Amino acid sequence: MAERADVVFVDGVRTPFGRAGEKGMYWNTRADDLIVKAMIGLLERNPSLPKDRVDDVAIAATTQQGDQGLTLGRTAAILAGLPLSVPGYAIDRMCAGAMTSVTTTAGAIAFGAYDVAIAGGVEHMGRHPMGFGADPNPRFLAEKLVSADALNMGLTAERLHDRFPQLTKERADRFGMRSQQKVAAAYAAGKIQPDLVPVSIRSEQGWGLATSDEGLRPETTMEGLAGLKTPFRPHGRVTAGNASPLTDGATVSLLASADAAKELGLSTKMRLVSFAYAGVAPEVMGIGPIPSTEKALKKAGLTIDDIGLFELNEAFAVQVLSLLDHFGIDDDDPRVNPWGGAIALGHPLASSGVRLMIQLARQFEERPDVRYGLTAMCVGLGQGGSVIWENPHYIGKKA
């Protein structure tokens, strides 16, 4: 049997993220059109890839119905102009959908079954609110398999504040404010725009073009955050200012074996080192990335000190802070989300995992002194996902 193939992240792009709902820029845009637009952009950026060399297309969505249903990977592949010989499938691991698309296809590449794969995710939370139309088994609550809080993500975040009193609302607010500021600085420096695929949008005013993320609030202040409502419980600590907004958007990536990338003249932006998923009590799902990161580090033979850049999904500020505290990392550590995160950019559930990878890949280009980076996220119903990547531009630590 052949040895495991090295898996590389060739490229990744995404649509701008829009606010969910009637006032959002994608209200009149289909979910499948968002992922198709992203896929077309990815293929156009990699013209040396023969389309018939794509072995599979894995596209995630959390709510797989309507324009997010019908085996998204296959329908999106056809709509994006891939040959009918290219198969595809859909994936659901809630918030870690796109991350699971990547790791699942990467496993097939490492095994030798695939040479090239496309992996991503889409979520139109305006059209398909989280959990809409789902019918959770009554045994979950009747037999106390999970707490009633477990099915409400905001309440799971409040539970983290309860469990870890040192994770104060003030710390969460400050982290949220800093996320907005870092995203604004990254936009001003032109860091984020190169990986955005413009999307035509239609509104009452006519046709337009989405070219940037819609939910940015760079003017955020601690005073403003302190006065926000706590929707999940009276006198709570989770607010719209320290949590990710409801968002629409799509992300997609191109993965290949190192040999196939070389053969086809494709770039290598990152090399996959290890990945892991873990389960935790659903009512404190936010701590999920802690055990998944520990598992991924162990499999890689690394420690947390080896990680030079962190891209952590900011579903809730308290969730990121719980991981930082666990590993002894400061709230303002410059290695963590240097260009901000989901509190400012948004978190279109099943698409967010690849956004983390897109940003890490760009940061690797700028940081040849960093060898390893981590993308990690919490997942609904009590899970965590972590992927460790190696920087192909690494030339050694700064003196």
Which residue is catalytic, options 124, 128, 347, 393?
Answer: 347
Banded pLDDT at 250 (limits 50, 70, 90) = very high
CATH of the domain at 56: 3.40.47.10
Please give the distance of CA 267 from its chain centroid, rounded to a whole number: 22
Residue 180 lies in a domain: no
Which residue is catalytic, options 95, 124, 128, 161?
Answer: 95
Residue 147 lies in a domain: no
Residue 78 lies in a domain: yes
Please confirm, yes or no, whether 393 is among the known catalytic residues: no
Region 109-136: mean pLDDT is 94
pLDDT in tens, 265-295: 999 999 999 999 999 999 999 999 999 999 9
Q: Count H helices, E strands: the chain?
A: 12, 12
Banded pLDDT at 36 (limits 50, 70, 90) = very high
Please confirm, yes or no, whether 378 is among the known catalytic residues: yes
Q: Cα torsion for 18, 335, 301, 103, to the nearest 10°?
A: 10
Which residue is catalytic, options 128, 161, 378, 393?
Answer: 378
- Domains: count for the chain: 1
Rounded to 5°, the CA angle 364-367-372 comes to: 55
Nearest to 387 by CA among 365, 358, 366, 346: 358
Global pTM reads 0.97
Is residue 154 within 8 Å of residue 134, measured between CB atoms?
no
Residue 182 lies in a domain: no
pLDDT in tens, 322-355: 999 999 999 999 999 999 999 999 999 999 999 9
Structure token digits, residue 224: 């403003």
Type of residue numbered 248:
D
Domain range spanning residue 30? 7-127+245-390
Residue 303 lies in a domain: yes
Structure token digits, residue 86: 């290219």
Please confirm, yes or no, whether 161 is among the known catalytic residues: no
Residue 64 lies in a domain: yes
Confidence check: pLDDT of 1 > 70: no
Residue 138 lies in a domain: no
Kindly report the average pLDDT of the chain as a whole number. Answer: 96
Structure token digits, residue 353: 């995992």
Cα–Cα dist 352/251, whole Å: 7
Residue 53 lies in a domain: yes
